Structure 1
Amino acid sequence: MNTLNQHYEEKVRPCIDLIDSLRSLGVERDLALPAIAVIGDQSSGKSSVLEALSGVALPRGSGIVTRCPLELKMKRRKEGEDWYGKISYQDHEEEIEDPADVEKKIRGAQDEMAGVGVGISDDLISLEIASPDVPDLTLIDLPGIARVAVKGQPENIGDQIKRLIQKFIKKQETISLVVVPSNVDIATTEALKMAQEVDPDGERTLGILTKPDLVDKGTEQTVVDIVHNEVIHLKKGYMIVKCRGQQEITEKVSLSDATGREDAFFRDHAHFQILLNEGRATVPKLAEKLTLELVHHIQKSLPHLEDQIEKKLKKTQQELDRCGNGPPSDASDRFVFLIDKLTEFSQDIFSLTSGEDLKSGAGLNIFSILRNQFKFWQDLVERSQVTFSCNIEKEMTQYERKHRGRELPGFVDYKTFERIVTAELQQLEEPAVLRLKDVADIVKKEMIKLAEGSFVGFPNLIRTAKMKIEDIRKVKEAAAESMLRTQFKMESIVYTQDSTYSKKLRMQKRQDDCLDGRVFTFGKPSTNSAASNNDGGATLKEMRRHLKSYYQIAGKRLADQIPQVILYQMLKESAIQLQREMLQIFQDKEKTESLLQEDPGINTLRTCLENRQNRLLKARTLLTGF
C-alpha cells in the first residue's frame, strides 16, 4: 500500500507519533495541533474513503452516521504482525480484538456521548488501528453536512454540524480533506464552500473526488479538469478514488479485493487512466499523499507549537499565581496564612494610593485615572475665567444702571468688587462637589478591584473588604465635601498676598495695553467697549483689571486646592483607615475559619490549571526530545 522509500519512512512515524502523543495527553484542549480533518456533505462517500484507508468497516447508513468527531489513528505494522485496535472516549478505553467489531464499538460510543438517536456531540472518540495494511496516518472524521433535519433531529442540526466542523477547520494547523462526489457540481458542495470560507487561498485544503463510476457519459473531461486543478484551484490539489459501493458491500466484497477492483477501474477507463498514470488516483496513492502532507505540515508547525506551549505555560502560571495555593489545613498555619493575606493587602492599599508597584502584581494605577478627573476640573476653572472676563463688562454696566447713587460716574465701591468676585467663584462650588463624588466612585472601584485580586477564592474576605471600603468611602466623602464647602466659604473673604496681587495686576495691565493697541484703528479708538466711554471709562477699565487679576489668583488657588482636599480624604485618609480596619480582623480569631472558607470554584479552577500545566510540561518535554 505504501511506496515511500525507507529513508522517508524513518521520518514519518516519529512525526505522527509525536502529534498522537500530544493529543493523547489532552494538549489539544490548550492549543491547536496539526491535523487532517475529513469533511463532506451527506452521502459524499466520506465513510467509504476512511474505510478504504483504515481497512475496517465504519458506521454507514442514511442521515447522520458520524455523530462525534472520530480521531482515526492508523499505524503501519511489519508484515506478519497481528491486527490491533483500541477505542477511547471520555474515561473509557477498550481494546478491540476483531476488526469486525469496530463499527459496533463506534456506534456504542456515539450513543453514550451523543445520546441514542440522531444528536451530535463535540466530544472526541479516538480509534487506534495498527496493521500491516494501513498507512502511517491520523485523520479526524467529522459529521456529514446535513441540509434538512429528519425526524428526531433538532431543527438547527445543520447549524450544529457546521459549528462543529468550523471548530476544527478554522484552525491554521488543520488541513481540510474535502470529499466530493464526482457526479455533482463541485461548486455547489457545502463542504468545499466551508473550507473556502476559512481557507480562501486553498493553501490547506485537499480535494478528494469519489464515485467516479457514477459520472454521466460526456462529463468525464470535467472530472479530469477538476483533478488537474483547473476548475477550483487548491494549492494541495485533488485526488480521485473509487471505494466500495453499496452493491459491493451487499456482495461482501472485501476491502483488499475492492482495492484491486479500483486499480482495474482506473487502468481500463478511457478518460481516467491518465489520472492513474499521474499518481492522482486510487486509495493507496491517496494514503501516500496524505501521509506526505501530514508530515510536512507537522514539521512546518513544530516551531510555532513550541512557541504556543511556552506562551500557554506562562499564562497558566500567572493564573495559578492569582489562584494562590489555598489555605493550609493546620489551624495555627491558617491563622498565619490569614495574617499574611491581610498584611499584603494592606501594603498594596498603601501602594495603590501612593502610586507605587503592588506586591500582588495587579496592574492598577489610580493616579492615571484621577489625573484625567483633575484635568477636567482645571479646564472647568479656566473656562470660568474666560466666562468671567466676558461677564465683567455686563456686571459693571448693570451696576451703573441699577446701583449708582450720589457718586460721580466711574466710582465703584469695594463692596461691588467683592460681590462680583465671590458670586462668580461660588458658581464653582457644586461642580467641585460633583468632581469629588466621581473621584470617590473611582477610588472605591479600584480598591474593590484590588481586594478581589488579593483575595481570589475567598468570598467572605472579599465581602468583608467591600463592606469596609464602602463604609469608609461614605465617611471620607462626607468629610471631603465639608472641607470643600468650607473652602468656598473662605473664598467669600477676598484675600491674597499684596505682592502676588500686584504682580498679577501688572501682568493684566500689560495685556490690556496690548489689547488697546489692537482695538485702535488708524489712530481712532474703538467705541464698542463701555470701558472706553468718556463717562468714568478709565475708572471702570481699572476696576475690570482688578477683578480679572483677583479672579485668576483665586481660580489658580481652587484649581490646586480642590484636588488636594479630595486626594487627602479619598486616598490618603481612606487608605489609612482601611489598613487599620483590615488589620483589626486579626483580633477576632473565631472569624478565621469563616474568612478562609474557599470558593469551591477556585479549587476546581486550580485543579484544572495544574492539570493543564502538567500536560504542557509533558508536551514541552516531548518536543524537546524530538
Structure 2
Amino acid sequence: MSTGLEALIPVVNRLQDLVFNTIGSDTLDLPQVVVVGSQSSGKTSVLENIVGRDFLPRGSGIVTRRPLILQLINVDAPPAETNPTSTDSPAVGSEWGEFLHLPGRKFYDFSDINREIQNETLRLAGNNKGISRQPINLKIFSPHVVSLTLVDLPGLTKIPIGDQPTDIERQTRSLILEYIAKPNSIILAVSPANVDIVNSESLKLARQVDPDGKRTVGVLTKLDLMDHGTHALDILSGRVYPLKLGFIALVNRSQQDIQTNLPLKDALRHEQEYFDNHSAYRNISHRCGTLYLTKTLNTLLMNHIRDKLPDIKARLNTLMGQTEQELASYGETTFIGKENRGSLILQLMTKFATSFIASIDGTSSDISVKELCGGARIYYIYNDVYGTALSQIDPTADLSTRDIRTAIRNSTGPRASLFVPELAFDLLVRPQITLLAQPSQRCVELVYEELMKVCHNCGTRELSRYPRLQAKLIEVVSELLRERLGPTSAYVESLIAINQAYVNTNHPSFVGAATAMTSVLQDRQSRELDASQHIKSLRLDEEQSDISSNQSDLQNTSTATGETQTHSRSRSSADSAISDIPTGPSSNGVTSGPGGNKDSFLNYFFGKEDRNLGMNGVISRSDKSRSLQVNSFSSTINEETPGVNGFSKSTDDENLSDREYLETELIRRLITSYFNIVREMIQDQVPKAVMHLLVNFSKESIQNRLVAELYKESLFDELLHEDDNLAEDRAKCAQRLETYRQAAKIVSEVI
C-alpha cells in the first residue's frame, strides 16, 4: 500500500474512472485542475505544452464544445523491443492515449486522438457549434508527463458566429461555473498578456467562486506579443491582481510555428531561452515557463488531494448511507419465492388498510401541512360546509303572503273560519322541510369524495413496486365506498321523509300559537308606535317652519296671522286624527274588556268566546276604519323599516285585511319555529348517519373486503408483477451503492 504523495493522483484517477464508468458524473467532487480562458487566449497551447504533444483540435470559433477530462499518467519508458509495431517511431510508441468510451483501445498516433475528440464532440454536441455538458474522458500515458488531472472547458465567447446558438455565452458561462464552483477544484485561469488584465474574463469568473484567490492559479500567455518597452512584472509579482497561488508566465508557439509543425520540444526550449534572455524576466526565469507550471500544478494537486481526502471519505459515507436507504425503499430483491407471495400480499394489504384508517383517524405519519385531508376534512365538511349551508336556508323565502293566505282560505272550505286553521300550517310546513334534503345529500357526497381521495393517496413506496396490486387495492376499496354511498344517501333521505310524515307541534321547543301571536301583536304595536312618532315629527317640522316664516316676514302681519290660524286648524285636525289611532291591541279589531286586550284577541283567533266581540266575530266598522287609518299613516314606514325578526308588510299585504295579515304572519312564524326544530335535528343526525353507515363501516370492513377479493393464489403472479421502471431504478441504485463501496475501499488504501 503506497502512502507517498505521488500515489494520491493515481488514486483520484481511479476514483474518477470508477465514478464515470458506473454513474456517469462526478458525484464525489474529486480534486482536479480546471482550465478556463477566453477564445484565442492560448488555452489549447498551454495544455499541449504540458502534454508535449499536438492532440487537441484547433480552428476558428468554439472548438472545445465538450468538457475534456484529461488524465496524465507517468509511466516508465518500455524497452525498444517491446514497443508495438507501427509506423510510429519507438519514442512515439512509448506514449499512447485511451478513451473511457472506447475501453481497451489504445491510440498511439496522437492525430487519431485528435480525430476521435472531434468525432465524439460531433456525436453529442452536433454540427451547429453548440456545446454539451457530457464530458470526454481521455487518459494519456507517457514517460514525459507528470501525473495530473486537467479539465479543458469551452473558451469564453461574447458574440455568436455562424450557426452558433444565440445564447452561446450564457451556456458557456453556466458550464464553466458548474466546474469551477466545486470547492475541490483548482482553477487555472489563462489570460493573454497583450490584453489588459482587468478585462480578463477567466479571472472575472474565478473571482465569483473564489473571491479570496485561494485556489486560483493565474497563467499569462503571449508575453512575446506585448508592445516593446512593456512587461508584465507587476502582474507576475501580484501587485496588480493578487492571487494566493500567484501568476506563471508562458510563451506559446506562434501561429507560424504551428503551421510549420515546430516540434513542441523545440518550442519549450525557445520558451525558456526567451525568459532567460529577457531583461525584465531573467531574474524570475526559474519561475516561468511550461516546465515550472507543470511541476507547480503537480505539487498543488497532490497537496490539495491530501487535504481533501478526509472530506471525500466523509462524503462517501454519506452517499453510501443515502443510497442504502433508497435501495431499501425499492426492496432488496426482485425474486420472491412462491411460499412467500401470500404473506407478502397480506402484509401489503394490511399496510394499505392501516394507512386508510390512519388517514381518517388523524394518526398517519404523512400528515399534510398544506391542506385539510382525511378525518380533519370530514370534520370540516360536517361543521363548516354542511352547517353553514343549513343555517343559510330561509324557511319561508319561497312562501309569499299570497301563498299563505291562499292556503288558509283553501283549508277553511266553503265557510268562514272562526280561528286560524291548523291544516294550513300543516300543509305549508311539510314542503319547507324538503329544503333540508339537498344540502344533506351534498354532505354525503362530499364525505364520499374525501374517502375516495384518501383511498387513492394510501400508496406507500413499497407498494409502488407493484402497480397492479396497488390498482386492485384502490379498485376494491372504491367499490366498497360506492356500495355504501347508496344506503347512506337513502337513510339521509328517509330522515327528511320521517320529519315530513308527522308534524309534532307538541315539541318542547315549538313556539306555539299563543306565543307566536303575542310576538305578532308586539311587532304591530311597535310599527304603529313608529307611525305615530313619525306623524308627531312631521308636526314639529311644520311648527318650526311656521316660526321661521313668521320671523322672516314681519312686514305682512295680517297675512301671517291668517296663515297662523290656518296652521292651527291643521294641527287641530291632525290631533283629532291621532286621537283616533288605537295604541293597544284594540286596533286589531278587539274591544278592550275586563279580561284584558291580549286574552280577548287570542280567544278570538283560537275559537274561544269573547262577549266584547260583535256577532259571529265580525269587526265593527268603526274599529276597522281606525285600523285603516293606522295602515295609511304607517305605510311609508313599513316599506322601509322591517319589523321584528324581519317581518313587515310587503306589496302582497296591501290588499289584506287586518285579520288576514295577522293570520299570515302567525302561520309564517309557526313555520319558522318548527323548521328550526327540524333543522337542528337534521344537522345533528346526518353526520352521525354518515359516520355510521359510510365512514366507520368502511374502516371496519376494508381489511376483510381486501382479503376476500384479492387473496387468491391465481392472482398472485399478476398482483406481484413489478413496475419495469422501478426495477431499473433499483438496479441503478444498487450499482451506485457498489461504486461508492469500491471508492471507499480505494480511499482507505491511502488514509
How far does residue 428 in structure 1 lie from its aligned partner after superposition?
1.0
Specify whether residues 531 and 16 from structure 1 end up closer, same or farther in structure 2 by C-alpha distance, changes over 3 A only.
Answer: same
* Contact 1:40/1:179 (8 A) holds in 2: yes
- Matched residues in 1 for 2:244 and 2:291: separation? 21
How far does residue 89 in structure 1 lie from its aligned partner after superposition?
1.5
Task: For structure 1, list consecutive stretches of 5 or more residues without a partner in the other structure.
Answer: 1-8, 510-519
* 1:369 pairs with 2:376: no
1:345 to 340, 345, 348: 348
Report Cα offsets for 1:363-416 as digits up to 9, x if no partner: 58899721343144131123235424xx35867985866655658689998737
Per the alignment, residue 89 of structure 1 pairs with: 100
* 1:139 pairs with 2:146: no
- Matched residues in 1 for 2:162 and 2:352: separation? 62
Specify whether residues 30 and 504 from structure 1 end up closer, same or farther in structure 2 by C-alpha distance, changes over 3 A only.
Answer: farther
* Contact 2:386/2:443 (8 A) holds in 1: no
Per the alignment, residue 305 of structure 1 pairs with: 312
Per the alignment, residue 558 of structure 1 pairs with: 686
1:70 to 68, 88, 92: 68
Specify whether residues 248 and 454 from structure 1 end up closer, same or farther in structure 2 by C-alpha distance, changes over 3 A only.
Answer: same
202-211 or 51-60, larger mean C-alpha shift: 202-211
Q: TM-score, normalised by structure 2?
A: 0.62
* Contact 1:143/1:161 (8 A) holds in 2: yes
* Contact 1:480/1:569 (8 A) holds in 2: no
1:24 to 7, 17, 27: 17
Specify whether residues 191 and 548 from structure 1 end up closer, same or farther in structure 2 by C-alpha distance, changes over 3 A only.
Answer: farther
Q: Which amino acid aligns with 2:10?
A: D
What is the root-mean-square deviation in Å for CA atoms of aligned residues?
5.1
* 1:245 pairs with 2:254: yes
Specify whether residues 157 and 425 from structure 1 end up closer, same or farther in structure 2 by C-alpha distance, changes over 3 A only.
Answer: same
How far does residue 234 in structure 1 lie from its aligned partner after superposition?
6.5
Per the alignment, residue 559 of structure 2 pairs with: none
- SS of the residue corresponding to residue 37 of structure 1 reads strand
- Matched residues in 2 for 1:94 and 1:356: separation? 59
- Matched residues in 2 for 1:287 and 1:11: separation? 19
73-82 or 575-584, larger mean C-alpha shift: 73-82
* 1:262 pairs with 2:271: yes
2:695 to 567, 570, 575: 567
Alignment of 1:11-410 (within 5 A): 12-26=5-19, 28-63=25-60, 64-66=62-64, 68-75=66-73, 85-94=96-105, 101-108=109-116, 110-111=118-119, 114-115=122-123, 122-129=134-141, 131=143, 134-145=145-156, 148=160, 165=176, 167-184=178-195, 205-217=216-228, 220=231, 224-225=234-235, 228=238, 230=240, 238-249=247-258, 254-269=263-278, 279=287, 281-291=288-298, 293-295=300-302, 297-299=304-306, 301-328=308-335, 334-355=337-358, 369-377=373-381, 378-388=383-393, 391=394, 403=407
- Matched residues in 1 for 2:147 and 2:193: separation? 27
Q: Which amino acid aligns with 2:482?
A: E
Report Cα offsets for 1:330-359 as digits up to 9, x if no partner: xxx7422432432222221221222299xx
Per the alignment, residue 619 of structure 1 pairs with: 743
Instruction: State the identity as a percent.
Output: 21
- Matched residues in 1 for 2:245 and 2:700: separation? 66
Specify whether residues 541 and 154 from structure 1 end up closer, same or farther in structure 2 by C-alpha distance, changes over 3 A only.
Answer: closer
- SS of the residue corresponding to residue 39 of structure 1 reads strand
How far does residue 299 in structure 1 lie from its aligned partner after superposition?
4.9
* Contact 2:42/2:190 (8 A) holds in 1: yes
- SS of the residue corresponding to residue 58 of structure 1 reads coil
How far does residue 26 in structure 1 lie from its aligned partner after superposition?
1.6
- SS of the residue corresponding to residue 56 of structure 1 reads coil
- Matched residues in 2 for 1:455 and 1:540: separation? 60
Q: Which amino acid aligns with 1:555?
A: Q
- Matched residues in 1 for 2:54 and 2:733: separation? 39
1:578 to 700, 706, 728: 706
- Matched residues in 2 for 1:79 and 1:407: separation? 131
Q: Which amino acid aligns with 2:149?
A: T
Specify whether residues 600 and 543 from structure 1 end up closer, same or farther in structure 2 by C-alpha distance, changes over 3 A only.
Answer: closer
- Matched residues in 2 for 1:219 and 1:417: separation? 109
Per the alignment, residue 439 of structure 2 pairs with: 428
- SS of the residue corresponding to residue 139 of structure 1 reads strand
- SS of the residue corresponding to residue 580 of structure 1 reads helix
How far does residue 541 in structure 1 lie from its aligned partner after superposition?
7.3
Per the alignment, residue 492 of structure 2 pairs with: 487
How far does residue 23 in structure 1 lie from its aligned partner after superposition?
0.8
* Contact 1:411/1:539 (8 A) holds in 2: no
* Contact 1:70/1:126 (8 A) holds in 2: yes
* Contact 2:73/2:139 (8 A) holds in 1: no
Task: For structure 2, list consecutive stretches of 5 or more residues without a partner in the other structure.
Answer: 80-90, 410-416, 516-525, 531-640, 649-661
* Contact 1:12/1:291 (8 A) holds in 2: no
Report Cα offsets for 1:560-579 as digits up to 9, x if no partner: 44355442455544453233
Report Cα offsets for 1:223-261 as digits up to 9, x if no partner: 845973746x76766443222333445666554554454
165-174 or 604-613, larger mean C-alpha shift: 165-174
* 1:530 pairs with 2:644: yes
- Matched residues in 1 for 2:211 and 2:439: separation? 61
Specify whether residues 485 and 162 from structure 1 end up closer, same or farther in structure 2 by C-alpha distance, changes over 3 A only.
Answer: farther
- SS of the residue corresponding to residue 253 of structure 2 reads coil
Report Cα offsets for 1:282-332 as digits up to 9, x if no partner: 33443354345434544554454334323322332233334335554xxxx
Specify whether residues 549 and 362 from structure 1 end up closer, same or farther in structure 2 by C-alpha distance, changes over 3 A only.
Answer: closer
* Contact 2:100/2:137 (8 A) holds in 1: yes
Specify whether residues 252 and 605 from structure 1 end up closer, same or farther in structure 2 by C-alpha distance, changes over 3 A only.
Answer: same
Q: Which amino acid aligns with 2:355?
A: L
- SS of the residue corresponding to residue 373 of structure 2 reads helix
- Matched residues in 2 for 1:428 and 1:538: separation? 28
Q: Which amino acid aligns with 2:352?
A: I
- SS of the residue corresponding to residue 59 of structure 1 reads coil
* Contact 2:395/2:671 (8 A) holds in 1: no
* Contact 1:412/1:543 (8 A) holds in 2: no
Report Cα offsets for 1:79-120 as digits up to 9, x if no partner: 999976552312513456x6xx34533533553574499677
* Contact 2:33/2:150 (8 A) holds in 1: yes
Specify whether residues 430 and 538 from structure 1 end up closer, same or farther in structure 2 by C-alpha distance, changes over 3 A only.
Answer: closer
- Matched residues in 2 for 1:251 and 1:439: separation? 80
Report Cα offsets for 1:525-562 as digits up to 9, x if no partner: xx854349896999987975665465344323334443
- Matched residues in 2 for 1:433 and 1:111: separation? 67
Q: Which amino acid aligns with 1:174?
A: S
Q: Which amino acid aligns with 1:104?
A: D
* Count of equivalent residues: 574
